[in-house]
Amino acid sequence: MADAILEVFRGNQETGSAKQYTVPIAPGMVVLDALHYIQGHLEPDLAVRWNCKAGKCGSCSAEVNGRPRLTCKTRMDSLPTDKPITVYPMKSFPVIKDLVTDVSWNYRVNKKIPPFTPKPNTDWKMYQEDMDRVQEFRKCIECFLCQNVCHVVRDHHMKEQFGGPRFFVRVASLEMHPLDNVSRVKLLKNELGIGYCNITKCCTEVCPEEIHITDNAIIPLKERVVDEYYDPILKLVRKIRSAFKSD
Amino acid sequence: MTNPAKYETHEHDVLIIGAGGAGLRAAIEALAAGAHVAVVSKSLLGKAHTVMAEGGIAAAMANVDKADSWRTHFRDTMRGGKMMNNWRMAQLHAQESPDRVRELEQWGALFDRTSDGDILQRAFGGHTFKRLCHVGDRTGLEMIRTLQDRGVQMGFDVFMECTVICLLTDGNRVVGAFGYWREQGRFVVLKAKSVVIATGGIGKAWPITSNSWECTGDGMALAYEAGADLLDMEFVQFHPTGMVWPPGVQGLLVTEAVRGEGGILRNKNGERFMEKYDPKRMELSTRDLVARSIYTEVKEGRGTEHGGAYLDISHKPAEYVKKKLPSMYHQFKELADVDITKGPMEVGPTCHYMMGGIRVEAETAASSLPGLFAAGEAAAGLHGANRLGGNSLSDLVVFGRRAGQAAAAFAAKASPSTINNAQIAEAERAMLAPFDRGEGENPYSVHRDLQKVMQNLVGIFRTADDLSNALGELEKLKQRAARVRVEGSRLFNPGWHLSRDLQCMLTVSEAVARSAQARKESRGAHSRIDYPKLDDQLWGKQHNVITREGDSMKLTQVPVDPVPDGLKELVAEEK
């Protein structure tokens, strides 16, 4: 059977370099299989995060031939074999070791988001047509590939001022929940810095769950921020409308 | 001598080991009771094996089939488990799961809906009515995200990527745990007034499995080492439908929801073979029976090209399939080049779930050791000899909640305890020993050989000879595992991590083989070629219990608690 050459980053936060490994290819093999082969037969201390190996847990993110991917869903036969396949850790997060990065920033951002808060005396009826758009956001597996490719994080290192696409998706899932009753618009504008996003759609392109992050989550949320902060007439109209509704 | 001050130390009321559905639900309940709670997780938060659960959560909500009730759910569970279930657990589970589902919804989970705006329910194997509340085929993800966010907002401490290597005991009382950070390899002492084990299953002892790397039986092994009882360890569920091709995805789960939504099983001759094995329930028979049927078809030469059966849903409209089974659609398309809306999938049995585990009390999830509780797959009792699909997610929330409640109550009344420094020193020594060996085997090769033994000798069909060979092989593997060598540093070193997980897998594997050898009958997931029938007179009335006696494993039997009058009528076979 044919062999593939993998060039894998080995190292830690201070130092590191790529190292080449020869791996036999099996039919249908994915990059994570090749990494497991290296662990199991060549270098048992190669650090890789993974769990389900089925595209459901979002643990095995890395940059394969320069493209951010889930290694469990990247088929070896989809990659050119005439040169080594490069596997590097996600660039936007500090390296711990080899392909494992420190993603704790994401968990800190998540903590800032007020949880689902139902309306008082909620009647728990919801209709599928009202939920379809929210269920799209709930597909997120937190692989953090969208966070990794976002320019605001990757090139401008603005982690402290910015929430990132993953958490815009999460806020969208709460804001558009048919029975949620709190506003996270101020949070979006201030702590999560949604204004820094200039909708280049890099996040949407890498999403393994094919969530339309920019079109369905970020742009509607940006509109809510604009309505709330920059459009006094709309604001007035909304107030009048809601006053009528509550009667 | 060990100086306890040299270790990073944390102190909590309740320590929860495992951050899947059961652990998170336990943590939420303990927090609600006012306890100071820590959750320890081998992975990052939100990645536990619960995310893999696909088909749904079973609860007799009667939203779709109005005739459903907890009584029918109880009956289905008991009969699916071949009456080996703890009847009280089965009763509590059936009664409480609808409330646990509603609670998830109130915490933000979004289940698929009926046209009336209620939670939609689908059919599943062994369930009389449409009972599984679901979100397409990603129900587990919805559940874990909901629980995770709830717990984070309520304020538990989370220790991510931290592995527990022993339970600390004061006398026989469990008073905390000792572990290491996977990232840096530093040790950590976790003192607690009570401990809940919610570490899930043991599937990684088999090569063809739907389970992730985490499922190495840690919780069961930790409890066993500390002196707790393990119950019904012979009952290992092989899910009938795992992927069989290509090799890299062998074992990967194909949700039962495919059959729930109308999927049909055929052999290579195009015969719908379930007509032979269970004409009444067909594809929606119980998992033990469907798994054995596929296995038998393949063994008798009617298997597919890659040694499986065909599972076909392509007679349903393509849009419907994509809507109800989106991850199956993508999984086959991306990993196997198969479009399931156009043609059949190839499937075969895969090691999926452990019905056995830590022996617990039904009401409190208390183990046989004071201060130690267990819930979810790590605990035994609810599912008996075979679990019905959908009963696992409901198990997590029903008994996770009960474990959290009881652990918080225990902690509130707990007297002061002492940490045994000698125990910590010994655990540290054993953990570091593989670095000190000048030579020795790679832990990965021992793991591969363990998997071969379990697959070949302790699989779906078992015999006395195979099981006794397995025990011989396991003895040799234990010797080899005790001599493995680890290269590199303590910084995020998977080989080193595996050297420890291997010990847990060997312990539970031995417990499975010993229990399987003792049970001379076929019941549920335990099938003996040499004893193909149910033996209700003897084995229908007793459980196997494994305990530690010094360095060896002791096997005893305890009677099955008979179903009391009032419930007995519910489970009686109809004439």
> Is B292 considered catalytic here?
no
List CB contacts (< 8 A) between A115 and chain B.
107-108, 149-150, 153
Mean pLDDT value across chain A: 94
Interchain CB distance below 8 Å, A53 and B252: yes
Once rounded to an integer, what is the mean pLDDT over residues B233-240? 97
Once rounded to an integer, what is the mean pLDDT over residues B344-360? 97
DSSP-based three-state secondary structure for B301: helix
> Is B239 considered catalytic here?
yes
Query: For B328, which residue in chain A has the nearest alpha carbon?
Result: A54
Please report, rounded to a whole number, the percentage of residues in chain B having pLDDT higher than 90. Answer: 97
- Rounded CA-CA distance B64/B116 in Å is 10
Q: In 3D, which of A53, A14, A33, A23 has the Cα closest to residue B491?
A: A14
Enumerate domains of chain A plus CATH numbers.
3-101 (3.10.20.30), 104-245 (1.10.1060.10)
Interchain CB distance below 8 Å, A45 and B49: no
The residues pairing with B122 across neighbouring beta strands, listed in sequence order, are B132
> Any CB–CB contact under 8 A between A57 and chain B?
yes
Once rounded to an integer, what is the mean pLDDT over residues B244-248? 92
Beta-carbon neighbour count of residue A13 at 10 Å? 11
Q: Which residue has the tokens 């890789």?
A: A48
B/e letters for A88-120, b = 16+ CB within 10 Å, e = fewer, are bbbebbebbbbbbbebebbbebbeebeebebee
Distance of CA B393 to the CA centre of its chain: 10
| Residue B1 predicted with pLDDT over 70 | no
List CB contacts (< 8 A) between B63 and chain A.
none
Cα dihedral sign, A219-A225-A226-A228:
positive
Q: Are B454 and B523 in contact (CB under 8 A)?
A: no
- Rounded CA-CA distance B536/B83 in Å is 10
Interchain CB distance below 8 Å, A139 and B141: yes
CATH number for the domain whose boundaries are B427-535: 1.20.58.100
> Any CB–CB contact under 8 A between A103 and chain B?
yes
- Rounded CA-CA distance B421/B408 in Å is 25
Give the Cα-Cα-Cα angle B125, B131, B135 (nearest 5 degrees): 100
How far lies A109's CA from each of A113, A174, B319, B356, in Å? 7, 15, 36, 39
Confidence label for B575 from pLDDT (cuts 50, 70 and 90): very low
Distance of CA B132 to the CA centre of its chain: 19
| Count of pairs with CB atoms under 8 A, one residue in A, one in B | 161
Query: Closest approach of chain A CAs to the CA of B492, in angstroms?
Result: 6
Catalytic residue chosen out of the listed positions B75, B127, B182, B239: B239
pLDDT at B141: 97
The residues pairing with B177 across neighbouring beta strands, listed in sequence order, are B167, B190
Domain ranges of chain B: 244-349, 427-535
Residue window 125-184, chain A: list those with CB within 8 Å of chain B. 125-128, 131, 134-135, 138-139, 141-142, 174, 177, 180
Residue range B156-208, pLDDT digits in tens? 999 999 999 999 999 999 999 999 999 999 999 999 999 999 999 999 999 99
- Rounded CA-CA distance B477/B452 in Å is 11
Residue range A224-241, pLDDT digits in tens? 999 888 877 777 777 787
pLDDT at B195: 98
Confidence label for B5 from pLDDT (cuts 50, 70 and 90): low
pLDDT at A247: 46
Structural class in CATH, domain B244-349: alpha beta
pLDDT at B4: 55
Once rounded to an integer, what is the mean pLDDT over residues B379-403? 98
Residues 6+ apart with CB under 8 A from B39: B16, B18, B19, B23, B24, B27, B45, B151, B156, B157, B158, B159
pTM of the predicted model as reported, rounded to 2 decimal places: 0.96
Strand order in the sheet with A16-24: A16-24, A3-11, A85-88, A61-64, A67-70
Distance of CA B254 to the CA centre of its chain: 17
Query: For A118, which residue in chain B has the nearest alpha carbon?
Result: B106
pLDDT at A119: 87
Residue window 24-63, chain B: list those with CB within 8 Å of chain A. 43-49, 51-52
Mean pLDDT value across chain B: 96
| Residue B416 predicted with pLDDT over 70 | yes
Residue range B500-558, pLDDT digits in tens? 999 999 999 999 999 999 999 999 999 999 999 999 999 999 999 999 999 999 999 99
pLDDT at A114: 96
List CB contacts (< 8 A) between B118 and chain A.
125
pLDDT at A1: 63
pLDDT at A232: 76
Residue B423 tokens read as 């125990």
Residue range A65-114, pLDDT digits in tens? 999 999 999 999 999 988 999 999 999 999 999 999 999 999 999 999 99
Assembly ipTM: 0.94
The DSSP bridge pattern shows strands B461-462 and A61-64 to be unpaired
**3-state SS track over B181-220:** ECCCCCEEEEEEEEEEECCCCCHHHCCCECCCCCCCCHHH
Once rounded to an integer, what is the mean pLDDT over residues A200-218? 97
How far lies B472's CA from each of B467, B477, B512, B520, in Å? 9, 9, 14, 19
pLDDT at A142: 98
Residue B61 tokens read as 């909500």
| Residue B429 predicted with pLDDT over 90 | yes
